[in-house]
């Protein structure tokens, strides 16, 4: 029995040893399972992070593209506004030149009008002077006629009275 007891002890030691190995293996399995779970979670997390990072990179690229487009659009809009400003500035210059031309035309017209107005006033003055002279001449003729006919005046009056009666 000693052999059998020795073999039994050997079997128990081996069993214990195997049990220990099994426990160690179980612990390692649990650790491996935990490591797998963590690795899986980390992978999923990294995948999410990578996906998010890729998306953010794409978004940044897209944003840069959009920003570039927006910048291009903004540049185009600014260029359009600058061109509109140049067009407006040219329109102002053209308007100033047109105003200058119109001002010269106005000054010329004003000068012509003034000359015409002066000529009109001169003719009005001449006309007035001629009327005054005609009136004075008519008065002088009337006075002269009166002087010539001073003696005949009563006869003229009598003739006029007789014509009126008839």
CA atoms within 13 A on the CB side of 41: 5
The pLDDT value recorded for residue 164 is: 60
Q: What is the largest CA-CA distance in the chain?
A: 209
Could you tell me if 60 and 54 are in contact, meaning their C-beta atoms sit under 8 angstroms apart?
no
Task: Note the pLDDT of residue 158.
Answer: 56
Three-class SS of the chain: CHHHHHHHHHHHHHHHHHHHHHHHHHHHHHHHHHHHHHHHHHHHHHHHHHHHHHHHHHHHHHHHHHHHHHHHHHHHHHHHHHHHHHHHHHHHHHHHHHHHHHHHHHHHHHHHHHHHHHHHHHHHHHHHHHHHHHHHHHHHHHHHHHHHCCCCHHHHHHHHHHHHHC
Every domain of the chain and the residues it spans = 2-165
As given in the structure block, the two tokens for residue 71 are 């910048």
Which pLDDT score is estimated for 21? Answer: 72
pLDDT tens series, the chain, 166 aa = 466 776 766 777 777 677 767 666 677 667 666 766 676 667 667 666 666 766 776 666 566 655 566 657 667 776 777 776 777 776 666 777 677 777 778 877 787 877 777 777 777 777 777 778 878 988 888 887 777 766 555 555 555 566 666 5
For the record, the structure tokens of 69 come out as 């487009």
The structure's pTM equals 0.41
* pLDDT at res. 115: 74
Residue 84 to residues 35, 52, 58, 87, Cα–Cα distance (Å)? 68, 44, 36, 5
């Amino acid at each position: 029995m000693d052999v059998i007891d020795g073999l039994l002890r050997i079997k128990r030691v081996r069993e214990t040893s195997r049990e220990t190995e099994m426990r160690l293996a179980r612990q390692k399995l649990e650790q491996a399972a935990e490591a797998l779970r963590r690795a899986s979670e980390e992978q999923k997390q990294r995948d999410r992070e990578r996906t998010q990072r890729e998306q953010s990179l794409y978004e940044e690229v897209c944003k840069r593209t959009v920003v570039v487009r927006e910048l291009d659009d903004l540049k185009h809009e600014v260029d359009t506004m600058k061109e509109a400003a140049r067009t407006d500035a040219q329109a102002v210059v053209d308007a100033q030149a047109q105003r200058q031309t119109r001002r010269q035309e106005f000054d010329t017209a004003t000068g012509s009008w003034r000359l015409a107005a002066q000529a009109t006033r001169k003719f009005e003055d001449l006309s007035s002077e001629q009327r005054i002279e005609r009136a004075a001449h008519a008065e002088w003729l009337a006075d002269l006629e009166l002087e010539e006919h001073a003696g005949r005046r009563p006869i003229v009056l009598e003739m006029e009275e007789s014509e009126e009666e008839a």
